[in-house]
Chains A and B, each alone.
Chain A
């Protein structure tokens, strides 16, 4: 399976978390909350588009609102492939992050 980049992982998980409200701005704010990084909105959109191209996400258009100057929101949704890749990534993560706390403590003490 393809490994996701960390950022891609972040984005996909955020989309998952936001369920129905996964559009650009919301994702941007979630990532800001999660990482503390104030990315530019553009920086979010490129990965989003790439992920869409790769087939992990699908996009659909929302209703235009006044606030957005007449443009609709672009919502993102996990595709089946996306779900699969997240599951796989989770498995990988479980494996490599197993016993993290214990391991990190012992390194701290012996400095190894």
Chain B
């Protein structure tokens, strides 16, 4: 109790003028102790509390009454001050505004990315069941699950309220009357899925839409595309020229923040794949409050039991709300978000906010030192200390508030451009959120108070006489504090810049890395046919007749995105773990078309189609795994099939460059039903002519199919597009960070040098040359900058090494980027400080000493 009172004592005494209030305070104490004696401490405390509660309103009212006219005056003075010191004010407000705008935009984006799939009803109970393949380092990749899983758990586990599975339909031809299009966003699933995910049906009944076989529900956009204004319900869509699907529902276009977007959902026909093949996405809705780990355990036991032998597959339960940001999914149902980027962006966003605020506070503090004369005059004319405090805090709060308003305005203006650049819907509605507004106001008040505190409280305690006499107190503590603030600021910006440079290097490294196959000059044409691939053979023959076409081939997957894998086994395989290998069915000339080098064996050339055994070409990684020196002629088992290796090809990147090259096998089968993407390598002179030729030939062979083509380059660009864009965002942010810090540095240098004008002049008068003065001034500043510099190196090194770990292909963290950026930043600091010091040092000492 005593301690509390003493503390309270000190606080109150330091804030209020002790002159008048001792009486008040003393009275309170008197009464308090009397009551405590009489009725006990609780009653006393209660009384005290009531006193404060009742007194507060009149305290405010009284002050306001007195200062209502002062308020208008203050406002006028604040605005006039801003106007008068346009340079300083501009830099300060500008710096703060930019930092805030970027923060708002980044925050909106990150918030976006984190908000995926929260809109489903019961979102917390929705889970994705994933196979998990540990890679021995503690993490691993996530995969898909077998067909019977969904039904099985629904029947046998009471905590599963509902479950469903989804399989994707690859590039399906959809036809209604004269409208024919290839659709890539069709999925096959059970009725139960509509129970799990929230899908709003505009037409049709959600509870039965997919219960009949061959039903399909379509999005509004699709309905418009095929049926125009007609009601699609009851009509039939023809899929792949063989199956009719009855439209039973139209659903509202899905919100952007879902990890699973689809245009059409069809009823899944019964399948006869068993527990050994994994091609389905299984989702479940569990009873609320089910323990995730317990159920995950049960699933693991289930798999162990059903697959007996040595089941090494693990099972994991992933909340649906985490799916979008799930890293390392082998077959994401749709491209996922990028956690590392989001992480980096949020850090940079925060750093920017902190730097901007920091800058502002720093600058105001430095600037206020030059307002000592103003303060003194005010005191002389009769301003009370409390008033001065309020004035300064008020001024700075006002400025911060202005900056905030600008920032919000600019953010709103920029949001659409930002959205479209990142191809996301950047939602700024959180600006209206009460919590956010409170946060903003709090931050404004906080910044305002801090930056107004120093001048207001500390400077105003200076006795007027001292100032007028010209005595300027240079407390070394104060300047050390100030200098270290600048150091920290500089250090943080240095770290950010270094990190950005490294990120930039890593991304360029990836981009420029040779993918291992030709990506330009390749035109790809999907041919979805059900008539065996005779037509395709003819097509390829026709194509080859054109001199502009060098090679052409067909395959299931394009080399940049091979999506199928299976288990591989070979004689002499050690251990019990299941090895997976990626696989692609290809026709003739695949390697030639894509310029992939054959390092061993004769490949698929001169092979007839009449052999029963599959022929394989494997890549170097696979051979290394097999541990064979001469793999040609050896046989391996792929799932249930066996085949002979006829060639070894050079490694190429068949997945996004984040991953190492994994084992891959090409399976030669000209007639394989699904090897139906034709790739054509063309000469680039007269591209449009060649394309026309391709189109004509295509129409000859397949008159009823739409001709669609793509340049592989474009597709690859699409694959890496998001990475690129995020990279640019980060780049610009870092530039802004650099800019802001330089701004702060410049402002700070100006003021700190200004404040030493007298000192400089005196030194000069006493005989120092400009050069000597310059070195004295500059040295002190540069010392702190160097310290910052030195701190920032190991910090950035550590951060960046951690970040680079996620990349299988990473650049070496060299000294060079650090040197470059460090030197540049150092140079900038030198220039800034140097320039200001120079101007001060060479100024005529008379000017500043005149008023002595």
A interface list, Cβ under 8 A from B: 23-25, 28, 38-43, 45-46, 49, 59, 61, 67-69, 71-74
Decide yes or no: A42 and B51 within 8 Å by CB, A49-B20, A73-B23 being known contacts: yes
Q: A24 contacts which of B5, B23, B52, B62 (Cβ < 8 Å)? A: B23
B29 adjacent to chain A (CB < 8 Å): yes
B340 to chain A, nearest CB (A): 57
Contact A42 B26 (CB under 8 A): no
The answer to whether A43 and B26 have CB atoms under 8 Å apart is no
Chain A residues, CB < 8 A from B28: 41
Whether the Cβ atoms of B52 and A41 lie closer than 8 Å is no
B30 contacts A68, C-beta separation under 8 Å: yes
Which A residues lie within 8 Å of B31 (CB)?
25, 28, 41
Q: Could you mark each residue 31-57 of chain B with 1 if its beta carbon is under 8 Å from any beta carbon of chain A, else 0?
A: 101000000000000000011111100
B60 to chain A, nearest CB (A): 11
Given A39-B54, A41-B55, A71-B25, are A46 and B62 neighbors across the interface (CB < 8 Å)? yes
* Nearest CB of A to B820, in Å: 63
- Choose one: B20, B22, B55; the contact of A72 (CB below 8 Å): B22
Given contacts A49-B20, A74-B22, is CB(A43)–CB(B27) below 8 Å? no
- B26 & A41 in contact (Cβ 8 Å cutoff): no
| Apart from A24-B26, A49-B20, A74-B24, 20 more pairs, CB < 8 Å | A23-B23, A25-B31, A28-B27, A28-B31, A38-B50, A40-B54, A40-B58, A42-B55, A45-B24, A46-B58, A46-B59, A59-B23, A68-B26, A68-B27, A68-B29, A69-B25, A71-B29, A72-B26, A73-B26, A74-B23
Closest to B21 in A: A45
Interface presence of B9 (CB below 8 A):
yes
A-B contact pairs, 30 of them (CB 8 A): A24-B23, A24-B26, A25-B31, A39-B54, A40-B54, A40-B55, A41-B27, A41-B28, A41-B31, A41-B51, A41-B55, A42-B51, A42-B54, A42-B59, A43-B58, A45-B24, A46-B58, A59-B23, A61-B22, A67-B29, A67-B30, A69-B5, A69-B26, A72-B22, A73-B26, A74-B20, A74-B22, A74-B23, A74-B24, A74-B26
Separation in Å of the B350 CB from the closest CB of chain A?
42
Q: Are A67 and B33 in contact (CB under 8 A)?
A: yes
Q: Which residues of A contact B25 (CB under 8 A)?
A: 69, 71
User: Is the pair A71, B51 in contact by a Cβ cutoff of 8 Å?
Assistant: no
Chain B residues with Cβ below 8 Å from A39 are 54
Cα distance A42–B23 in the bound complex, in angstroms: 11
Determine the distance from Cα of A23 to Cα of B55 in the docked complex, in whole angstroms.
18
In the complex formed, the residue of B with least CB distance to A69 is B29
Which of under 10, 10 to 19, 20 to 34, or 35 or more describes the interface residues of B?
20 to 34
Summarize A's interface: helix, strand, loop or mixed.
mixed
Q: Tell me which residues across on chain A come within 8 A of B21, comparing CB atoms.
A: 45
Residues of A within 8 A of B51 (CB): 40-42
Inter-subunit contact B54/A24 (CB<8 Å) = no
In Å, the complex CA distance between A106 and B55 comes to 41
State the CA gap A42–B55 with chains docked (Å): 5
Task: Report the Cα distance A76→B218, complex, angstroms.
Answer: 86
Q: B26 CB to closest chain A CB, in angstroms?
A: 4
A72 to chain B, nearest CB (A): 6
Q: How far, in Å, is A57 (CB) from chain B's closest CB? A: 12
- Across the two chains, which residue of chain B brings its CB closest to A42? B55
Q: Are A42 and B30 in contact (CB under 8 A)?
A: no
- How far is it, in angstroms, between the C-alpha of A28 and the C-alpha of B26 when the chains are bound? 13
Counting chain B CB atoms within 10 Å of each CB, the highest count among A42, A61, A67 belongs to: A42
Q: How far is the CB of B449 from chain A (nearest CB, A)?
A: 23
Q: How far is the CA of A59 from the CA of B55 in the complex (A)?
A: 22
Task: Name, among A23, A45, A61, A73, the residue most crowded by chain B CB atoms within 10 Å (CB to CB).
Answer: A45
Chain A contacts for B24, CB-based, 8 A: 24, 41-42, 45, 74
Do B22 and A43 touch (CB < 8 A)?
no
Task: List the A residue with the shortest CB-CB distance to B22.
Answer: A71
Q: Chain B residue with minimal CB distance to A76? A: B23
The complex places the Cα of A79 from the Cα of B558 at a distance, in Å, of: 101
Q: Cα distance A28–B30 when bound, in Å?
A: 12
A57 to B59, CA, bound (A): 21
Q: How far is the CB of B27 from chain A (nearest CB, A)?
A: 4
Chain A residues with CB under 8 A of B62 = 46
Docked CA distance A15–B27 (Å): 16
> Mask for B192-223, Cβ within 8 A of A = 1, else 0?
00000000000000000000000000000000
Q: How far is the CB of A48 from chain B (nearest CB, A)?
A: 9
B35 to chain A, nearest CB (A): 12
Q: Are A69 and B9 in contact (CB under 8 A)?
A: yes
B2 to chain A, nearest CB (A): 10
Within the complex, what minimum Cβ distance (angstroms) separates A111 from chain B? 38
A57 to B513, CA, bound (A): 88
Q: Which 8 A-B pairs have the closest CB atoms?
A: A74-B23, A42-B55, A68-B26, A71-B26, A40-B54, A40-B55, A24-B27, A25-B27
For B5, the chain A residues whose CB sits under 8 A away are: 69
Check if B30 sits within 8 Å of A25, measured CB to CB.
Answer: yes
Q: How far is the CB of A89 from chain B (nearest CB, A)?
A: 22
List chain B residues, Cβ under 8 A from A49.
20
Tell me which residues across on chain A come within 8 A of B20, comparing CB atoms.
49, 74
Measured in the bound complex, the distance between the Cα atoms of B436 and A33 in whole Å is 49
Q: How far is the CA of A39 from the CA of B57 in the complex (A)?
A: 12
Per the bound structure, the CA–CA distance linking A49 and B22 in Å amounts to 13
- Residue of B whose beta carbon sits closest to that of A39: B54
Nearest chain B CB to A61 CB, angstrom units = 8
A61 to B22, alpha carbons, bound, how many Å? Answer: 9
Q: Do the beta carbons of B58 and A42 come within 8 Å of each other?
A: yes
